[in-house]
Chains A and B, each alone.
Chain A
Amino acid sequence: MGSGILVVCEHENGAPKKTAYELLSKARELSSTLGGGISAVVVGTGDAADLGEYGATTVYTADGADFASGSTGARVSALAAAIEAAQPAVVIGSACAQTRESFPRLAARIGAGMASDCTDLKVDGGAVIARRPMYAGKAFAEVAISSSVALYTVRPNSFPGAAPSGGSAAVSPLQVTVSGADMAAKVVGIEEPKSEIVDLTEANRIVSGGRPVDSSDNFDSLIRPLGIALGATVGASRAAVDAGYAPHNEQVGQTGKVVNPSLYVACAISGAIQHLAGMRTSRVIVAINKNPEAPIFQHATYGIVGDIFEVVPKLTEEAKKQGIGA
């Protein structure tokens, strides 16, 4: 039985992602009752950055072409080596593209239990208990894991990032054997997006449009400008996506992205149960809808009963004037 917490830290463009700091902050809080200390691991870089200042006493690194290539197999072997070195009781990572395939494979490789997409972690009776949405957030459950190492992925924006504690970490490069089987699936190319956008699942602000937006041209002239003015990522309802007004990867809801932003602005979205399932954990919900009976208003923090074609341009103008998205 191991002890302590190993935090899997994601990085992008040479720096740890915001989720790394969110997870380290939570690890510090858990660690005060759980004990055993905190270590971190980064895969694909040898740079431990400032993770030591946020509570990690050791940062394990797996540097080299195989790890930087995006290969799931190489990443699994690196994480298994980090677990072997750190002997943690708990491993936490962000619920993101990098963990979605690698964490289940890691769990199967080391025979560990896993809970995905958790929204809270606590210590109870000397063990970590996770809380997570089920049925796309129509229900919640607590998850206990009895294997000697327990794996958790946590939804972005679930925890605030704390201030640095002023510590420092020992950097420990991992010796990882990457097998031929690990590299059987190879990332042979990366297609860049047309514009730089924050992923919906990680976005802190989201503006979404529903079917009454009525065309992809209106999405471009009405919804996307509000997104830019608010510094928000654009999403869409299932009906809008199925009608072809927005691409599949912008769908929010039970069969689309489940999102967790601070601000969610729903434009002409009625609030069907499968849509609510994808966004109900948003901290603040704004609903703009001309039907005062729309179910979305029961979930909205602020509501405006009105036509999006009148309200949204004015909202965009006001947000621009106040320099919100700048």
Chain B
Amino acid sequence: MKVGVCIKRVPGTDSRITIADPASGPALGDVSWEVNPYDSFAIEAALQLQEAGTASDVVVFTVCGADGDAKIRDALAMGKKGKSGASKAVRLDDAAFAGSDALGIARILAAAVKKEGVDIVFAGKQAIDGDSSQVPAMMAEVLGWPSVCEVTDLEVSASGVKAWRQAGGGKREVVELPTPCVVTADKGLNTPRYPTLPGIMMAKRKPIEVLDAAAIGVDPSTVGSAASSVTFTNWSPPAARPPGRILEGETDAVVTELITLLRDEAKVL
């Protein structure tokens, strides 16, 4: 079984996001990039399947320019020497892809996944930049494959996938689906490993295939800014909160004052 993993590079969780211009959005020149944290759970899931002998090969997919290669190498560096690790990455890069909305990105990834011929595609449940959480499920729909999103437990066999997902109200749904399929990872699915030094050395020699629209058979008019129907404008930092109040005094008096304020002033109790 061949497994694909879709990744994206994003500003790290510790990054401050400043708005350069309300029309164009955040200034990302100074942020430190990392592989989207949820994608790390997806990579780990794929590597565990490889180590269990269920998956024979792992391929990483991403849509970005050459400036994303360093983070692709981070993903390729995960694994155990001689046992696991992605064999290559496929970087989807074409001027026609620029300005794609989520559906455009989904079409690009779907075409690449189809060309490569994989049985399961893993992805993070969302990328922590746009936080849209749309691309993997859209990709599944474009492929006509079943999907299960936000998975916290997983069993994979030759016959298919059994996955557990949060269903609201603290419930967990158990979902069974055949391959080929798309699975998105939530925190809790596993604990992603850190790359080892041999892994990092090996990753330097792994191929990054760069494919354009023609190579994956995508009609350029269905992707990129021309096909995008979603526009982000009027960017702003979060609204400043009105200054708060520090309650001072003996603990007994302070907690009574707090309850009173929450009930009578803030009216939240």
Q: Which one of B147, B171, B231, B263 contacts A143 once the chains associate, using CB atoms below 8 Å?
A: B231
Q: Is the CB of A311 within 8 A of B147?
A: no
B91-99, B113-121, B197-205, B246-254 - the one binding chain A: B246-254
24 A-B residue pairs with CB within 8 Å: A97-B168, A104-B135, A104-B137, A105-B138, A114-B230, A140-B237, A141-B25, A144-B231, A145-B229, A181-B146, A185-B146, A185-B177, A188-B176, A189-B173, A192-B171, A248-B152, A248-B187, A249-B170, A283-B266, A284-B266, A285-B241, A302-B246, A302-B262, A305-B246
Residues of A near B229 (CB, < 8 A) are 112-113, 145-147, 150
Residues of A near B263 (CB, < 8 A) are 322, 324
Given the known interface contacts A135-B129, A284-B262, A302-B244, the answer about A104 and B174 at a Cβ–Cβ threshold of 8 Å is no
Q: Is the CB of A255 within 8 A of B244?
A: no
Near B by CB (< 8 A), chain A positions 193-211 give 193-199, 202, 205
Residues of A near B237 (CB, < 8 A) are 138-140
Q: Which one of A101, A117, A133, A305 contacts B149 once the chains associate, using CB atoms below 8 Å?
A: A101
Residues of A near B174 (CB, < 8 A) are 187-191
B8-16, B60-68, B77-85 - the one binding chain A: B8-16
CA distance A213 to B35 in the complex (A): 30
Q: Is the CB of B150 within 8 A of A280?
A: no
Given A134-B232, A189-B173, 5 more pairs with CB closer than 8 A:
A134-B129, A139-B26, A184-B177, A262-B268, A305-B246
Q: Is the CB of A135 within 8 A of B262?
A: no
Q: Is the CB of B137 within 8 A of A324?
A: no
Which 3 pairs show the lowest CB-CB distances between chains A and B? A193-B170, A248-B188, A113-B229
Q: Which one of B106, B131, B244, B259 contacts A133 once the chains associate, using CB atoms below 8 Å?
A: B131
Residues of B near A107 (CB, < 8 A) are 102-103, 134, 138
Indicate with 1 or 0, residue by residue over A305-323, a CB within 8 angstroms of chain B CB atoms. Answer: 1100011001101110010
Closest beta carbon of chain B to A257's beta carbon, Å: 10
Q: Is the CB of A299 within 8 A of B173?
A: no
CA distance A198 to B169 in the complex (A): 5
Residues of A near B159 (CB, < 8 A) are none
Q: Is the CB of B134 within 8 A of A116?
A: yes
- Which residue of the partner chain B has the closest CB to A181? B144
Residues of B near A192 (CB, < 8 A) are 170-171
Q: Which one of A141, A186, A199 contacts B235 once the chains associate, using CB atoms below 8 Å?
A: A141
Residues of B near A253 (CB, < 8 A) are 13
Q: Is the CB of A184 within 8 A of B178?
A: yes
Residues of B near A300 (CB, < 8 A) are 244
Residues of B near A322 (CB, < 8 A) are 259, 263
CA distance A190 to B254 in the complex (A): 44
